[in-house]
Amino acid sequence: MTAENSVRVVAAGDHFVLPSLITRAVQRDVERAEVRELRLGWPLEPFGPVAEVREASDAEDEMIEALAGAQVLVTQMGPVTEKVLAACPDLRLVVVCRGGPVNVNLDAAIQHDVRVCFAPGRNAAATAEFTLALMLCALRRIPQAHEPLARRGSWEGASYYTYEESGHELEDLPVGLVGYGAVGSRVARVLCAFGARVMVYDPYVHGEIHGLRIASLDDLLRRSRVITLHARLTPETRGLIGARELGLLPRGAVVVNVARGPLLDEDALCDALDSGQVSAAALDTYAQEPLPVESRLRGFTGRVVLTPHLGGASRAVAEKAARIAAEEVGRWVRGEPLAHCLT
């Protein structure tokens, strides 16, 4: 593809990354782009497995129809399956507006000579901010104080002014970060501004960090009144924080997870909440999503803050995702090396 040629692009957005956001971003970065828009149902309609891909909107036929004659697809939830790739021989580039192309059959893309790119870092700032918000909610009992006043007009705040029930300040509080990537490093920087005593465990990160580097996870846990998880989910990190690890925390510690649910053993966390080993938790991600109605986590009213995987839900994330994707399309059109390419 050369800059002189027109490129046909399908902007298969949804109700979060709007097709219009993708279109504007592509047209800013690509001089000669013909963009066709398709809006998929997420998040008003749930994603799930579609054919052989794990997380996508159930819209293979709609994708095939929209992609007729198109060379480029930019999407967040569009299913890029073997069926779609086989039916769209003109398709040469797929850019996924997410941190990974879990809605793409990568093996089939290679077989069909389709490059696949993604949009790393698009939600790092939003997730870091949400982590701090949940941490403050858990430490200062904000949701618990809001509920009786807003719903029943009951002035129950007095109980939170007793020494036993009052919360903790971030200033001088030992906070341990498990992972120091794009999100964890931002959380550390903000915690330092609050005056927290920040400690970091991440064996894969070298160089300067915000806070004190701790050589072992066990040592970090023993020294942290709050832990917040920011590790990537891999076979090695699945279940990283279980009963043994929670037992190493100082009694009454707080656990925050806005990363990936399976990093944390939820049954072990519930046991620790039951025993008082953990005094509170704030979670945005879970081993199974949506969180099952029968989950034990729902039984800790007043001690656990639960949100439905909203860490990346900001308008800026949608705008950044469209911009990162469009920049990749521009590089492809100009024949430049792709920045975030897997095939």
Residues known to be catalytic: 260, 289, 309
Burial class (CB in 10 A: 0-12, 13-18, 19+), 342: middle
3 state SS for the chain: CCCCCCEEEEEEECCCCCHHHHHHHHHHHCCCEEEEEEECCCCCCCCEEECCEEEECCCHHHHHHHCCCCCEEEECCCCECHHHHHHCCCCCEEEECCCCCCCECHHHHHHCCCEEECCCCCCHHHHHHHHHHHHHHHHHCHHHHHHHHHHHCCCCHHHHHCCCCCCCCCCCCEEEEECCCHHHHHHHHHHHHHCCEEEEECCCCCCCCCCEECCCHHHHHHHCCEEEECCCCCCCCCCCECHHHHHHCCCCEEEEECCCHHHECHHHHHHHHHHCCEEEEEECCCCCCCCCCCCHHHHCCCCEEECCCCCCCCHHHHHHHHHHHHHHHHHHHCCCCCCCECC
Inter-residue contact 57 to 104 (CB < 8 Å): no
Longest dimension (CA), the chain: 71
Instruction: Please give the backbone phi and psi of residue 289, each rounded to the nearest 5 degrees, phi first.
Output: -125, 135
